[in-house]
Amino acid sequence: MQDFNFYKVNETLNHKYYQIPQELFINLLYKNTLNSDSKLLYGFLLDRLSLSIKNNWHDENGNVYLIFTRKEVQDKLNLSDKTVTKAFKQLSDVNLIYEKKQGFSKPKLIYVAKIQHQKIELSHNRKNYDYINGDSTITESENFRPINTNNNYTTNKTTYESPKQSLNEELYSFSTPIKSSDPNRMTNLKITSSRIDGTIVKSKSEFSFYKVIGEPSSKDGYKEADAYGKDNEIIKVVGGGNCQISTTIYNAALGVNGLEVTERHEHDMPVAYVEDGKDATVSYGSLDLKFKNNNDFDIKLTCETKDDKVTVKIFRIS
């Protein structure tokens, strides 16, 4: 051991360090979702972020950004292009980074997000949907009546029982702001929120947006409101505004370990309630939002529409 350079007692460490938050290794939102390369990359991005703050790099809203090209990351971390691309995608999927395009041949602006914290909350089950091979089992409280959606998804059996009170762990929460003042759109958001609220997706089952809410119909109270048409023109459709609900669900699902998005579509045009590339458009009969619960536990979605925002929370069912 003659050539081994030991540290001695009371010796001061005189190194510079890259800091990787411990929460990436212990928080269920990130522990098993991010691989080691993604966690290492987040530490490097935080280091670059401190330089951006020092250099006063920020946008018109005061949000700090950095520039760190894929090639720089490859050279810095000695990783392949495929590995670096995967690391960026994993960080984006859990909303720890957002990349904004600047234009042709210009590098993307990278925004680094703060780590989300988990909370414990007491709540009640109101409604269970178990999607297994097309079979739906609905469990509801006595004072909650099922809505006849008249859609193509039929339930093979429906049962009613009193909900059990249980301690549920909130895994993730996501909100989108309501920018429109159209009362018809607000009506649609509230109807769809009420149908999504309380939905339980069993372990190993798949959630489908339209399997839950059915086809929007004026008979069920839906109104005509603005939506994008086939040629990206603004048209009036029954149920206009539902894409904000599906988008909010999509972003909430991205924040939960073990939820695999199996179908999702982007708008061709930007929307006002979420950043570019973070939306999930839906259209009954053609475009759906789906995700699979690969966890060994059930999850519950809550959905609430207020005057200024739509909020979706996902809970682990204990």
Residue type, 78: N
Chain-wide mean pLDDT for the chain?
Answer: 81
Chain centroid, CA 46 distance in Å? 22
pLDDT confidence bin for 140, thresholds 50/70/90: very low
Comparing 29-33, 147-151, 186-190, 196-200, the range with the smallest average pLDDT is 147-151
Q: Residue 16: what pLDDT?
A: 80
CB neighbour burial string for 12-45, b if at least 16 within 10 angstroms, e if fewer: eeeeeeeebeeebeebbbbeebbeebbbbbbebb
Residue type, 259: L
Percent of the chain with pLDDT over 70: 83
Dihedral sign for Cα 66, 69, 75, 78, please. positive
pLDDT in tens, 192-217: 999 999 999 999 999 999 999 999 99
**Phi and psi, residue 95, nearest 5°:** 60, 35
Q: Residue 166: what pLDDT?
A: 52
Residue type, 239: G
Q: Residue 258: what pLDDT?
A: 94
For residue 146, pLDDT over 90 is answered with no
Strands in 54-149 per DSSP E: 97-100, 109-112, 119-124, 127-132, 135-140
pLDDT in tens, 69-105: 889 999 989 999 999 999 999 998 888 999 888 877 7
pLDDT confidence bin for 246, thresholds 50/70/90: very high
Q: Which domains does the chain have, with CATH numbers?
A: 23-112 (1.10.10.10), 119-316 (no CATH)
For residue 256, pLDDT over 80 is answered with yes
Dihedral sign for Cα 186, 187, 190, 191, please. negative
For residue 47, pLDDT over 80 is answered with yes
Q: Residue 174: what pLDDT?
A: 96
Q: Residue 118: what pLDDT?
A: 52
pLDDT in tens, 15-42: 788 889 988 988 877 888 899 999 999 9
Q: Residue 192: what pLDDT?
A: 95
The answer to whether 258 touches 94, Cβ cutoff 8 Å, is no
* SS3 assignment, position 52: helix
| Between residues 5 and 201, the one the model is more confident about | 201
The answer to whether 146 touches 136, Cβ cutoff 8 Å, is no
pLDDT in tens, 96-133: 999 888 877 788 899 999 887 654 333 333 334 343 33
| Between residues 284 and 29, the one the model is more confident about | 284
